[in-house]
Amino acid sequence: MELLVASAVGVLTAAGVYLVLRLRTFPVIVGTALLSYAVNIFLFASGRLQIDQPPILQDGVTAYSDPLPQALVLTAIVIAFGMTAVVVVVALGAYLSSQDDHIDDRPGPDDPDAAEAEGQGGARP
């Protein structure tokens, strides 16, 4: 169990970091999603791994699972979901407006004059 959870966190994190370093929007977005899965599992494990234990106080029960990490994970999932939606929209906007899905600054757009023309003249249709 511990090995399974720990390796899941590790493998997801490694895959996420690798994908984020690809520097094109699609792998990066998938990478951040994998990272958020990794962190969710990690948060879940931060309340210790318990199976089949109730999270709420009951009469005659002595062993409980920690309810707080479950609430934290729920919050984190919602936030990660919203953030993923935002990054998809922003990335799509960037791709559609420049026909280029690289995340790093290419020599072209970063050139001051080109940036000037692009940034200031780039009126929305």
Partner 1 sequence: MTHWIVLPVILPAMMAAIIVLVLRGHPLLQRVFSLAGAVAVLAVAAGLAWETADGTILLYQLGNWAAPFGIVLVGDRLSILFVLLTALLAVFVALYAIGSGWDMRGRHFHALFQFQLMGIVGAFLTGDAFNLFVFFEVLLIASYGLMIHSGGSRRFRVGVQYVVFNLLGSTLFLFALGTIYAETGTLNMADLAQRVAEVPAEHTAGIRAAAVMLLMVFAVKAAILPLHFWLPAAYSTAPAPVAALFAIMTKVGAYAIIRVYTLIFPPDLAITQGLFDTWLLPAALLTLAVGMAGVLGARRLDRLVAFAVIGSMGMLMSAVAVFTPQGIAAALYYAIHSTLATATLFLLVDVVRARRAGGSLGFDPAPPIAGGALVAGMFFAAAIAMAGLPPLSGFIGKLLILDAALADPRIAWVWAVILGSSLIAVVGFARAGSTIFWKAHAPGTAPADAPPPATQDAGESTTPPQAGPALPMVAIGGLLAILVAVTVFAGPLQRHLAATAAQLFAPQPYISVVLGTPGKAIDKGDHGNKAETDKAQGDKAQGDAAQADQHTAGEEH
Residues that bind partner 1 (CB under 8 A): 20, 25, 28, 32, 35-36, 38-39, 42-43, 45-48, 68-69, 72, 75-76, 79, 82-83, 86-87, 90-91, 93-94, 97-98, 100, 103-105, 109, 112-113, 115-116, 118-124
Q: How many Cβ atoms sit within 10 Å of the Cβ of residue 28? A: 19
**Minimum distance from residue 17 beta carbon to partner 1 (Å):** 9
Specify the residue, 8 or 39, whose C-beta has the smaller distance to partner 1. Answer: 39
**Minimum distance from residue 62 beta carbon to partner 1 (Å):** 18
Helix (H, G, I), strand (E, B) or coil at 120: helix
**Minimum distance from residue 106 beta carbon to partner 1 (Å):** 9
Q: How many Cβ atoms sit within 10 Å of the Cβ of residue 95? A: 15
Helix (H, G, I), strand (E, B) or coil at 102: strand
Q: Is the dihedral of CA 66, 72, 76, 79 positive or negative?
A: positive
Specify the residue, 61 or 85, whose C-beta has the smaller distance to partner 1. Answer: 85
DSSP single-letter state for residue 59 = T
Q: How many Cβ atoms sit within 10 Å of the Cβ of residue 34? A: 20
Spatial neighbors of 22 by CB under 8 A, at least 6 apart, are 28, 31
Specify the residue, 15 or 76, whose C-beta has the smaller distance to partner 1. Answer: 76
Specify the residue, 11 or 83, whose C-beta has the smaller distance to partner 1. Answer: 83
